[in-house]
Structures are given as C-alpha cells and as structure tokens.
Amino acid sequence: MQERGGEREPILIRRARIIDPSRQVDQVGDLLIGSGEILATGRIARDQIPEGCQIIDAQGLVASPGFIDLHCHLREPGYEFKETIATGSQAAARGGFTTLCCMPNTDPPIDSESVVEFIKSRALSESSIRILPIGCVTKGRQGQELADLEELASSGVVAFSDDGDPVYDAKLMRLALTYSYDLGLPISDHCQDRSLSCNGVMAEGAVATRLGLAGIPAAAEEAMVARDIALAEMTGGRLHLAHLSTAGSILLLRQAKERGLPVTAEVCPHHLTMTEQWVMGSKGAPTDYASEFAYETSTKVYPPLRSQFDVDVLVDALSEGLIDAIATDHAPHDSMSKQVTYEDAAFGISVLETALGSALELVHQRKLSMGAMVSRLTQGPARVLGDSFADLATMEPGTPADIVLFDPDKEWTVDTSKFASKGKNTPLEGTNLKGRVLATIASGRLAYQSDELKSQKTNAGTNVANP
C-alpha cells in the first residue's frame, strides 16, 4: 500500500449513523481517528479526545468504510487530455471512493514493471487516495501473447485485464486463468464476442430500430461469459466478470456460483438505473418519439444501456448478493470524442462523482437496503481483490482510517462544469440526484470536505485545521 507523508491530525466524527457491513454494525455513534487508523468506535468520552482534535458533527449523516472501485479508467499515462491520476483521484474523493483500481488501457499499457512503478510513483505524489494498478493480460493489450503476469504480480498489480477489449483467444484466456490460480489474482474480462457485436453502438432492440442505429445483441456478452466460466471451471483460476448488463449473464453467473466456481462479478451504476430509452433523449421516460436530444452521445457506453427487464434482473441480483460489487467503469472523455455522430462517438460515461447518487436511487426506491448498498461498494470489492484487502472495507479499530460521510437525503443537480474529473460525459447532466458525499477521509486525512460540512465543525478548545 502506498504511504503519504505529512501530519495527520486526529479527527472525531460525532453522532453519525455508522454502517459497517464487515461487523454487521448499523447504529448511531462516534468514530475517533488518529495516526491514519481508526482508534475507537461507539461512544467517545470527552477525556478520550486528543488535544488538537478536529471534530465533525455528523448528525443525520451516514459514516461507512470508504468505497472501493474495482474498475475505473484514469487514462494516465498517454491520455492525460481525458483524465489524470490527480484529477481522477479528486473526482473519486468527491464520490466517496478511497481506493481505485485503474485499468491498463493506457499508452503505454500497464504490461511491464516500469509502467506499474510509474503509476505508483505518480499516485504517491498526486493522489490523496489509494491507487491500485491492474495489469494487462496480454502484451500491449493486443491479444496475441500473454504478458509477463508473474513480473506484474511481483510489481504490485492487484488483478489482470485487457479491459476495453476482450481476451478473445480462448487458449490465451485459459492460460491466463491457469496463472491466476497460481498467483491468486483475478482475471477481469471485458465480455464481448465481437463477431456478434460487430459495429453495434447501442443495445439491439426496438429503440435501436426506431433510431436507425446498429444494435448489440445480449448474446455478444453472454457468449463470452459462458466461455469464461467454462475456462474458470477447467483451470480453477479466479474469474471476475466486468460490467455485466444482461439478464442472461446473471443466469450464467448464478449457475457458476451454485457449482462453487471461483467467479465474481460487478455491475455499474448506469446499468442499474438507466435503460436504452435514455438514447431517445427522454432521460429514460417511455416514449415512441425521438426528442431533440435523441442520439445524445453521453448515453453511448459499453456494454450498452439495456432494457428495463435487464435492469430489474441486475438490481435483484445485486440486492441478493449474487453480484459482488458496484464498480463505476468511470470512462472520462474529452469533449471532441463525444461531440460527433452517435456512430463515431467514444464509448464511456464519467461516473465517479455520481455513483453514490445513482446507487442511493435504488435505496430510496426500496429496491436495495442501505446496508447492502454499502456492502457492495466496500466489502464486496475487497473480497474480489482478496483477503489482504479486507482491512480497507471495515471500521474495526486498528484498521486504516478510510471513511466516507454522506447525506443520503441531500438533493442536488448534476452540473458537470463543477466536476473535478476532466470527463464531463454523463447523461445525468441537469438531472436531480438524492444523496451526496460531504467528506472523504483516506488514510486518516481529509481527501475531500464540502463547504457545507465545514460550517458544521465545532472546536473542542483547540484550533480546527482546514483540509
């Protein structure tokens, strides 16, 4: 884990609703933080408060372990005009994330120890949160030859993926999963059979037909999911299914888990809350007519936004725990990559700063419990990464002080001009969300604190430092 220099003043969080799925805790209490660790939870007596402690009144707020994102694109090195480690980590902190796993579709790709070291060094100097690199499965992400997975594992990657592209060669995927078994690191595959997806730009179906856009059938994902599960069963390797989007994929996942296979899965906020109707320009409202905002390229994402039936199945699977984690697939783009025709636009949505609001939509609709939501953003991702990361998903005293404070009822309007991310590409622009992060503490330091929360801080007889 990366360490950050500088003093870490003690922090006391008062009267928060503490939700810690790792300990099955959901109760109002206090949190005392010092030296980068959680010192105590529960009721903190006055004589336990260290001198110079910063006190945050969190009444009415939820305190949970910091969120862990298994799947994001920070673009650096090579595409710094889209995002950097610095801007991506700032966006993550605003979204409540204290740990990011960054995908290797950079230039150069993360397929060597030197690139891993570059990312770790840059993260240490420019990120206020933890950055964990994911290494390539194949050299250059070209799908021709396996990368040196042992070297990458030794250099500190936490998983392997060619995300943005599938590992198309079944023989290579089998070999990668065999290495996965030996190294203990998961292979995260972008499940896409390109012979089926072809030149598709959105989900195959009535909406694509009405708009005259080439469709991507659900089978393009499901065929690759089925193949990967069969290879995981053959090798015993750890398979992680990235950004699932179809009901058929959920059926395959259920069957794999019932057979006890080492298979985990993630789902993205947009696949839980948006349907293909959003491409019609109606913000998801049912309509047979394309509005003036139809063909809005911010809705173009891979996998594509699917049907309401698919969304309902994904939400149920997440609530049940069949899907292990919510992952953002944060894919920031420059405006020129989106201000083109729908066919020519880049795939991807900027998600880090809206992920919590989208997830809380399910909570407010009573489709997902608050505890389950927190678990899928913390404990679930940590389990996918492995036992050595369990301390990042708990508020047990003695563990790293990675904490998010959020107001589940705070209403706000998405304004991308205020994003910390360079990526302004989200179909949520101008929409209202309910639930917002007010503070993110990473390794005992305030990585983000809203102006609103500053006005709630009190002084326990000592100076209160601003972050």
| Active site amino acids | 329
Written as one string, the DSSP assignment of 199-249 is T--EESSHHHHHHT--EE-THHHHHHHHHHHHHHHHH---EEE-S---HHH
Candidates 162, 158, 123; CA nearest to 2 is 123
Q: How many residues appear in the chain?
A: 467
Count of CB atoms situated within 10 Å of the CB of 283: 16
Written as one string, the DSSP assignment of 351-377 is -TTTHHHHHHHHHHTTSS-HHHHHHHH
Which of 79-113 are b and which e, b meaning 16 or more Cβ less than 10 Å from the residue's Cβ? Answer: beebbbbbbbbbbbbbbbbbbbbbbbbbeebbbbb
Count of CB atoms situated within 10 Å of the CB of 367: 17
Query: In this structure, which amino acid lies at residue 6?
Result: G
φ, ψ for residue 381, nearest 5 deg: -60, -40
| Distance (Å, whole) CA 42 – CA 23 | 13
| Distance (Å, whole) CA 31 – CA 397 | 9
Radius of gyration of the chain (CA): 21
Give the SS3 label for residue 89: helix
| Distance (Å, whole) CA 414 – CA 428 | 6
Cβ neighbours of residue 367 closer than 8 Å, sequence gap 6 or more? 315, 319
Query: In this structure, which amino acid lies at residue 229?
Result: I
For tokens 């007010």, what's the residue?
Answer: 438
CA 395 to chain centre: 20
| Distance (Å, whole) CA 250 – CA 243 | 11
**Omega of the bond leading into 303 within 30 degrees of 0 (cis):** yes
SS (H, E, C) 129-182: CEEEECECCEHHHCCCCECCHHHHHHHCCCCEECCCCCCCCHHHHHHHHHHHHH
- Are 207 and 153 contacting, i.e. CB atoms less than 8 angstroms apart? no
